Structure formats: structure tokens, C-alpha cells
């Protein structure tokens, strides 16, 4: 009998390892499979048992619940207060459009047999049978854009690297998922690492690269272990190495672990860090596609971008772009976080509204108090008011609404939030994490903190607000990368949407 | 966590495992920290010589990254996430309380990717969701 207990670190953080250990000791004959998380994180630890009708879920399961679960005959799907019914019929999950995340939570992350049984390697096998330009055309045609935040068309980037002449080319997966409120890269790597490896291998075949790096944050120790095991398994299988699945292509894949620097998520700082140097941003041009890692042509894509590629190759570009709106095609893996009742992964086609995600899937705040604001797109994203909740979540609509989609993280705050304090945090985070290369970011961020402090204290409020906006303009226009260039976004959106929080000391709650 | 006492000889053994790596300096400092718990000041010259870099290069890398320590760590290490998603569920108050109780063992962290089950903490390498002072104290013990 198969019992699934997630090994995802979010599930572990609320006791999944203990639950697995207790089940192993108390249920004889149980085969415990440590799957990834299906993404309904408020139900973690969510365990599943395989029955004739399909997998039946229970959650959130505490160690103390196991006794009563056994009494309720849970191994045969028996009724229990924690029963969620058939996993595939849980409305929160069933209503999603899982493409990139289709296997996460379903399979054993390190079983290649499971991976292939659920459609894995179909995309890579097809890619090997195609020419470089056929693969790139398929990716371009799918409309797949960079999921890291910039939204640059993946196919066009690949084409540039494919066209560059060099003795060595690289593929780099940006897994430096530093944005607060985002965890999709982590969950994919912990729950379905072969998909990332497959996406990177397809990219390598397409552009003629033979070495790949995954730049993975040190804050994700569980993901590092899982990915390293997956790479070793892929090697032993003859997928990675001198001949990809028996073809003439070679591809070696290595992990580089970050060292606690947010700015290393910026692609050129990431390259410096992989090269073992300080994570200082490079000026562009030259584009990394022409002169990237160690000065060689390099494809840099986010984990989610690369992990969407196998589906594009397996099912075709036409199937992928069925999803989405306008120029935002395919699905986005939204991550619902912060003060939220039902947080987790919501993969839906672009074009879903903020309202549907936050109040529909999310069910409002965890505290039960009304939602006051959501920050979308990480620490550099805008603070939205509830009046903007009909905004469509796609690249263009978000831009028009004064924000950005970023990596798809949505952080919910209840009415206890003070937006002046949040704006101050944005500036202080930039001061801590700035690489120091350009002045607007390095010094502007510290001046920003000081100016917001004066506003909070009620000192010359109008003058200081004007000064702050002026500073924001300098940072936006004068910074080399998104760190300094986008820090004004949370600050200005907070000032614009919540002016009452910036009215000086007298107005403070 | 158990670390070896710093010695040049064991450091050279660690560095030898990285000889074939492209761009090894950051990896080397991380590997030394994993072995000894911190990067000893003597390691700067050692790494520089070993990989044919300047001492300034190595010092620059060592001082850039928040993860790298130049003094031995406390016996217990507690990191509290102080990013936005955890702030939204009270990490500022938690951080204060944990710092009051455990002082120098406590460090700020920016996101463990557990943003739907905050506040999040990492206690001696174990991740903790919906963290409270009590839970942290229990895992630390």
C-alpha cells in the first residue's frame, strides 16, 4: 500500500518528516513515498493514500492525528475529519491549469520511471530529433516569456546564443529566488527536478551549449540536495554526460550555491557570482547572450521558464499558447503568500484577476481582518489597493496598472499594515542588498530610508515627500539594474495608493 | 554542529577538491566555512595562492556575501525571515522576542521560500513554518 507524505520543505516546516516517521512505525506494510507538495500549502502536511478510486487526501495531518486516522481505516480511504476526498477532486487544485507544475506533488521527485510515466523526457526526445532552428522556432512560436520578471521572449534569447560563434557556450538557470513571497522555483526543484534538467538540456541542444549551471540559493538547502541527487541519477541514466540519450550532443550540469546575496538574482551579478567573484552587476551591453559566463555566449533563464520548455516541446507551441491573453501566453505559476488563509501555488493562464487569486483561491487573510494591500512581484513590486483588484494578471495589464508581475509572487497584508513602514523597508532592503556599483542605488537607498523616517516623524512632510519622489526618479532612471531601478516601485505605489499613511505623525494610527 | 578546528593542512585538503572547478574562489570560501565553521583570516592568502588570485580578490569575495563569516559561529544558529511575506504575519515581533531570548545566536534572513506558512525560521539547519518563540526554543534544545 502506498502512502504519500510530501518532502517539500514547506511541508517539512510544519512537521511532514515527523508524520512520515510515525506512519512508518505504526502502519505495517506501508510504502511511504515522499512526493513534492501539490501546492495547497495550508493543507500541509497533506498525506495521500492510493485506493482503487484514486489517491485520497487527508490534511493538515499532525502527528497526534495518526492514531485516529488508523482507527478510521485511512489506508483504505476511510472517513475522517481531516479527509479531503479524492486528491484530483479538491476544487482548489482541480480548478487550476497545471502545465509547468503538472507533475509536482504527483510523482516521486527522484523516480525517473515515475517521471517518464507522467510524460517526462518526451520533449527532450523530440528536441533531439529536430534541428536547432526547429527547436528555437517552436519555443518562439509558443510565446514563452521570461518568468523571472523581465518577460523577455525566451526563443529570441536562444536564437541570439545559437547564432553566436564560440568554442564554448553555457546554459544558466537562475534559481536565486530571492523575492519574498515566491517559492515556485524551490517547489519545482524539490518536487519535480527532472523537469528543470530536461528544460536546460533542451536549451543546450538548441543553442549548442555543453555546460550548464544552476545558481541555487543557500537558503534552499533541501532543494540543493534534491537537485544534486536528480543530476546524479540523470548522469547514471545516460541523459547527462558525453552523449545525451545516445545522441551526438553532450551536456554537463552543475550546481552553484549562492551565498546570501539578493542582487545575485540579477542576471549579470549572478554570472559574476558563478565565476566566483563579488556579485557586482555588469553594464549591458554586451548582452550575456553574446558575452555571458566567462565571456562566452550564455542562455540565462529563470527556473520556471526552463521548466515550461519540456511541455512546449512535448505538446507543441500551439497547445501552450492556447493559454493566456494578448502577448502573455501560457500559464503563470502564481504564489500566494503572506497573511493569507489558503496560500500556495496557483497555476493559471495569464489573465486571471487579482481578486480571483487573493479572495477566490486565497479566501482572504489568515488573521480574518480585511485585506488592505497586496504586494505583487516581490520586494521590488508595487503595493496594490483593493480598488485595483480587478486588474488582470498579465505582463501588459500589470505594467499599465503601475506594477509588474515579477516572478508571480503575491503577498497579502491585512489592515494592520503601515505602508510608510513598508516603503521604508523597501529602501532599507535596497541599502543592505545593493551591490554598490552605481550611486543611485548604493547611496539613494540610504537617503530614502532617512527621508521616509522624517516623513514618519512628521518633519516637513510635504517637502520630504517631494524630495522622496525626486529621489525615486533618480534611482529609476540612473540605476544600472532592477535593484535600484525598481526599488522606487513599492515606495511610489505605497505613497500613491495609501497617501493617508504618509501624512505625517498626526495621522498615524 | 561539529566543525574541525582551523588548520592550514586540512584547508589545503578542502581546496584540492576544487582544483578542477571553473571560478573556484567563492566555492572555496564556502567549502572552508562548511569545514571549519568560518573563514579564518589565514585562509585569504591560502586561497589566493592556491587559485592564483590576488589577496584583494579573495578579501573582496569574503566581505561581499552575507553568508560568509570570519569568526567562529555560536553553537546554535537561528535565522528569522524578516522579508515582506513573513512581516505580514508578525515576523517583526517574533524577531524581537527571539533576539531578546537568544541574543547573538539570532540572525536576520531574507526569505526561505516558505512564504505561505510564515513566519519562517531556520534553526540549526531545520526549517520551521508558522514559527513561534516556543517552537524555536523547542527545536533549538
How many domains, in total, are found in chain B? 2
| Cα–Cα distance measured from residue A32 to residue A48, given in angstroms and rounded to the nearest whole number | 10
The residue range of the domain holding A469 is: 419-507
Q: What is the pLDDT of residues B64-101, one digit of tens each?
A: 999 999 999 999 999 999 999 999 999 999 999 999 99
Q: Which three cell numbers stand for residue B73?
A: 559561529
Provide mean pLDDT across the span B119-128: 97
Same domain assignment for residues A89 and A232: no
In angstroms, what is the C-alpha Rg of chain B?
17
Chain A residues lying within 8 Å of B60, measured CB to CB: 277-278
pTM over 0.95: yes
| pLDDT for position B47 | 98
Provide mean pLDDT across the span A92-111: 98
Same domain assignment for residues B60 and B22: yes
Chain A residues lying within 8 Å of B120, measured CB to CB: 13
Give the strand pairing for A47-51 and A2-4. antiparallel
Q: What is the pLDDT of residues A10-31, one digit of tens each?
A: 999 999 999 999 999 999 999 9
| pLDDT for position A150 | 87
Query: With bands split at pLDDT 50, 70 and 90, how would you rate the model's confidence at A507?
Result: low
| pLDDT for position B141 | 86
Q: Is the pLDDT of residue A505 over 90?
A: no
Does A262 touch chain B if contact means CB atoms closer than 8 Å?
yes
Contact at 8 Å (CB) between A394 and A328? yes
Q: What is the pLDDT of residues A233-281, one digit of tens each?
A: 999 999 999 999 999 999 999 999 999 999 999 999 999 999 999 999 9
| Cα–Cα distance measured from residue A490 to residue A409, given in angstroms and rounded to the nearest whole number | 14
ipTM strictly over 0.90? yes
Query: With bands split at pLDDT 50, 70 and 90, how would you rate the model's confidence at A149?
Result: confident
From the list B81, B110, B112, the residue facing A262 with the nearest CB is B110
In angstroms, what is the C-alpha Rg of chain A?
23
- Domain-located, residue B69: no
Query: With bands split at pLDDT 50, 70 and 90, how would you rate the model's confidence at B2?
Result: confident
Q: What is the pLDDT of residues B24-38, one digit of tens each?
A: 999 999 999 999 999
From the list A258, A337, A367, the residue facing B85 with the nearest CB is A337
Same domain assignment for residues A280 and A338: no
Nearest alpha carbon to residue B72 among B28, B112, B41 = B41
| Cα–Cα distance measured from residue A58 to residue A62, given in angstroms and rounded to the nearest whole number | 10
- Domain-located, residue A337: yes
Q: What are phi and psi of A103, to 5 degrees?
A: -95, -15
Count CB pairs under 8 A between chains A and B. 155
Does B115 touch chain A if contact means CB atoms closer than 8 Å?
yes
User: A163 CA to chain B: closest CA distance, Å?
Assistant: 24
Cα separation values, A293 from A266, A267, A277, A288, Å: 13, 10, 12, 7
Same domain assignment for residues B97 and B134: yes
Query: With bands split at pLDDT 50, 70 and 90, how would you rate the model's confidence at A70?
Result: very high
From the list A183, A261, A422, the residue facing B115 with the nearest CB is A183
| Cα–Cα distance measured from residue B118 to residue B112, given in angstroms and rounded to the nearest whole number | 10
Contacts of A426 (CB under 8 A, 6+ apart): A379, A380, A487, A490, A491, A494
Within chain A, how many helices (H) and strands (E) appear?
A: 22, 16
| Cα–Cα distance measured from residue A146 to residue A266, given in angstroms and rounded to the nearest whole number | 13
Same domain assignment for residues A172 and A263: yes
Instruction: Tell me the pLDDT of chain A averaged across its residues.
Output: 97
- Domain-located, residue B2: no
| Cα–Cα distance measured from residue A413 to residue A390, given in angstroms and rounded to the nearest whole number | 17
From B38, B64, B90, give the residue that closes a domain.
B64
Provide mean pLDDT across the span A34-47: 98
Nearest alpha carbon to residue A429 among B111, B70, B116 = B111
Q: What is the pLDDT of residues A311-368, one digit of tens each?
A: 999 999 999 999 999 999 999 999 999 999 999 999 999 999 999 999 999 999 999 9
Same domain assignment for residues B93 and B134: yes
Query: What CATH number does the domain containing B116 carry?
Result: 3.40.30.10
Cross-strand bridge partners of residue B128:
B121
| pLDDT for position A508 | 53
Q: What length is written for chain A?
A: 509
- Domain-located, residue A257: yes
Element (H, E) at A335: strand A331-338
Question: What is the signed CA dihedral for A100, A104, A106, A112, rounded to 10 degrees?
Answer: 90
The residue range of the domain holding B120 is: 78-140
Amino acid at each position: 500500500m502506498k502512502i504519500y507524505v510530501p518532502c517539500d520543505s514547506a511541508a517539512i516546516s510544519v512537521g511532514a518528516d515527523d508524520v512520515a516517521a510515525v506512519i512508518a512505525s505504526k502502519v505495517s506494510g506501508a510504502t511511504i513515498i515522499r512526493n513534492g507538495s501539490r501546492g495547497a500549502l495550508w493543507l500541509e502536511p497533506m498525506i495521500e493514500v492510493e485506493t482503487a478510486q484514486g489517491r485520497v487526501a487527508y490534511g493538515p495531518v499532525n502527528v497526534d492525528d495518526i492514531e485516529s486516522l488508523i482507527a478510521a481505516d485511512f489506508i483504505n480511504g476511510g472517513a475522517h475529519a481531516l479527509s479531503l476526498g479524492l486528491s484530483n477532486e479538491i476544487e482548489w487544485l482541480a480548478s487550476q491549469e497545471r502545465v509547468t507544475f503538472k507533475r509536482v506533488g504527483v510523482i516521486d521527485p527522484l523516480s525517473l520511471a515515475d517521471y517518464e510515466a507522467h510524460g517526462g523526457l518526451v520533449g527532450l526526445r523530440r528536441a533531439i530529433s529536430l534541428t536547432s532552428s526547429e527547436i528555437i522556432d517552436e519555443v518562439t512560436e509558443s510565446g514563452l516569456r521570461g518568468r523571472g520578471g523581465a518577460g523577455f521572449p525566451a526563443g529570441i534569447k536562444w536564437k541570439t546564443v545559437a547564432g553566436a560563434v564560440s568554442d564554448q557556450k553555457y546554459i544558466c538557470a537562475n534559481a536565486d529566488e530571492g523575492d519574498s513571497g515566491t517559492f515556485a522555483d524551490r517547489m519545482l526543484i524539490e518536487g519535480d527536478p527532472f523537469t528543470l534538467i530536461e528544460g536546460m538540456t533542451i536549451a543546450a541542444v538548441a543553442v549548442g551549449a555543453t555546460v550548464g549551471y544552476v545558481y541555487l540559493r543557500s537558503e534552499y538547502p533541501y532543494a540543493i540536495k534534491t537537485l544534486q541527487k536528480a543530476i546524479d541519477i540523470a548522469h547514471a541514466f545516460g541523459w547527462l554526460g558525453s552523449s545525451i540519450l545516445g545522441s551526438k550532443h553532450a551536456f554537463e550540469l552543475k550546481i552553484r550555491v549562492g551565498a546570501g546575496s539578493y542582487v545575485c538574482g540579477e542576471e549579470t551579478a549572478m554570472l559574476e557570482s558563478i565565476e566566483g567573484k563579488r556579485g557586482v552587476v555588469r553594464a549591458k551591453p554586451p548582452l550575456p547572450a553574446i558575452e555571458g559566463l566567462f565571456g562566452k555566449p550564455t542562455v540565462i533563464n529563470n527556473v520556471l521558464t526552463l521548466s515550461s520548455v519540456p511541455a512546449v516541446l512535448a505538446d507543441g507551441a500551439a497547445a501552450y499558447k492556447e493559454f493566456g491573453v494578448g502577448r502573455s501566453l501560457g500559464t503563470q505559476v502564481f504564489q500566494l503568500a503572506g497573511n493569507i488563509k489558503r496560500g500556495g501555488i496557483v497555476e493559471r493562464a495569464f489573465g486571471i484577476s487579482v481578486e480571483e487569486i487573493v479572495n477566490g483561491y486565497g479566501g482572504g487573510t489568515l488573521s480574518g481582518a480585511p485585506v488592505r494591500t497586496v504586494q505583487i512581484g516581490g520586494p521590488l513590486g508595487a503595493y496594490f489597493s483593493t480598488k485595483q483588484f480587478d486588474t488582470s494578471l498579465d505582463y501588459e495589464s500589470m505594467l499599465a496598472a503601475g506594477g509588474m508581475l515579477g516572478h508571480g509572487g503575491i503577498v497579502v497584508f491585512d489592515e494592520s499594515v503601515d505602508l510608510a513602514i513598508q516603503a521604508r523597508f523597501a529602501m532599507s532592503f535596497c541599502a543592505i542588498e545593493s551591490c554598490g556599483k552605481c550611486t543611485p542605488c548604493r547611496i539613494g537607498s540610504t537617503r530614502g530610508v532617512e527621508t521616509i523616517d522624517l516623513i514618519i516623524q512628521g518633519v516637513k512632510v510635504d517637502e520630504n515627500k517631494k524630495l522622496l519622489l525626486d529621489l525615486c526618479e533618480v534611482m529609476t532612471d540612473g540605476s544600472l539594474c532592477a535593484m535600484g531601478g525598481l526599488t522606487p516601485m513599492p515606495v511610489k505605489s505605497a505613497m500613491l495608493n495609501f497617501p493617508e499613511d504618509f501624512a505625517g505623525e498626526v495621522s498615524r494610527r | 554542529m561539529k566543525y574541525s578546528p582551523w588548520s592550514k593542512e586540512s584547508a589545503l585538503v578542502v581546496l584540492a577538491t576544487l582544483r578542477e572547478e571553473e571560478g573556484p574562489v567563492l566555492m572555496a570560501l564556502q567549502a572552508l566555512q562548511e569545514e571549519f565553521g568560518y573563514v579564518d583570516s589565514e585562509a585569504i592568502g591560502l586561497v589566493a595562492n592556491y587559485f592564483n588570485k590576488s589577496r584583494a580578490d579573495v578579501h573582496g569575495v569574503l566581505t561581499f556575501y552575507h553568508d560568509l563569516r570570519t569568526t567562529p559561529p555560536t553553537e546554535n544558529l537561528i535565522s528569522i525571515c524578516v522579508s515582506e511575506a513573513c512581516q505580514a504575519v508578525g515576523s517583526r515581533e517574533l524577531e524581537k522576542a527571539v533576539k531578546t531570548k537568544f541574543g547573538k545566536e539570532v540572525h536576520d534572513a531574507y526569505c526561505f521560500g516558505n512564504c505561505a506558512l510564515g513566519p519562517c525560521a531556520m534553526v540549526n539547519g531545520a526549517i520551521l513554518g508558522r514559527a513561534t518563540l516556543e517552537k524555536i526554543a523547542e527545536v533549538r534544545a
